[in-house]
Amino acid sequence: MKILINMVIGSLLIGYFLGCINLSYIISKFRGFDIRHVGSGNAGASNVVIVIGRKIGLTIAVLDILKSFLAFRLAGAIFPDMMSGGISVAGVIAGVGAVIGHVFPFYMGFKGGKGLACFGGIVLAINYLLFIVLFVAAFLIAMVTDYICFAPITMAFIVPVTVGVMYNAWIPAAIIFISSLILLYKHRENIARIRTGEELRFHFLWRRKDESERFGIKDDGKEILERKI
């Protein structure tokens, strides 16, 4: 029992503190503003794409994926004996811890990002081919619906079920579902904005002018920094 408790606490701490490294917030501070007060108000890669640009935003998304991937692998190496269906239970706990750290970082008043990229990092650590398939599926969902938020909402259900079925690993699947609940909670405001017509559409990534005009923002989206959508 003591070994189990040490594994759970150790893995959570590894994941949480790696997850707390919120590059969206850090970079915005270096640029003289708080990413949480502009754009969508989210301290995550998607808002960096909106506010600063695609290159930096996509780079941060990759790094957010890697921090939960690293947490998973590190915890799995430290606690190698706890396995379920060939999946490291310690790794999954650390991955979920990274999501928690990204969403609720202590030094940001527990107001961080929404955790999608970190959520993806858990899948990448389990099976890179599964990650690719689900990434493509999430992209298609965002394309078809024209709203990014439908991708994480859908993946929140698909990922734990897929992991459980593919590996017959329902303990890791149940642990992953904890992070799914966090994703659903964090995206509730997006659904509310869709209902009121205030949510940015996915095509903003390549047709900034259309959405800028819809929200009354000038200069092809450059003035988006001056208001919170």
- Alpha-carbon separation of residue 177 from 45, 106, 163, 174, 215 (angstroms): 22, 22, 10, 5, 35
Residue 198 makes CB contacts below 8 A (sequence gap 6+) with 229
Residues of the chain with pLDDT under 70: 204-229
Q: Distance (Å, rounded) from C-alpha 115 to C-alpha 24?
A: 12
Cβ atoms of residues 94 and 117 within 8 Å: no
| Beta carbons within 10 angstroms of residue 157's beta carbon | 13
Rounded alpha-carbon distances, angstroms, from residue 226 to 30, 35, 223: 17, 12, 6
Task: Name residue, tokens 């490291």.
Answer: 88
DSSP label at residue 64:
H
Give per-residue pLDDT as tens, 46-58. 888 878 888 999 9
Query: pLDDT above 90 covers what percent of the chain?
Result: 67
Kindly report, residue by residue over 21-42, the tens digit of the pLDDT. Answer: 999 999 999 999 999 998 778 8
**CA–CA distance, 148 with 46 (Å, rounded to integer):** 9
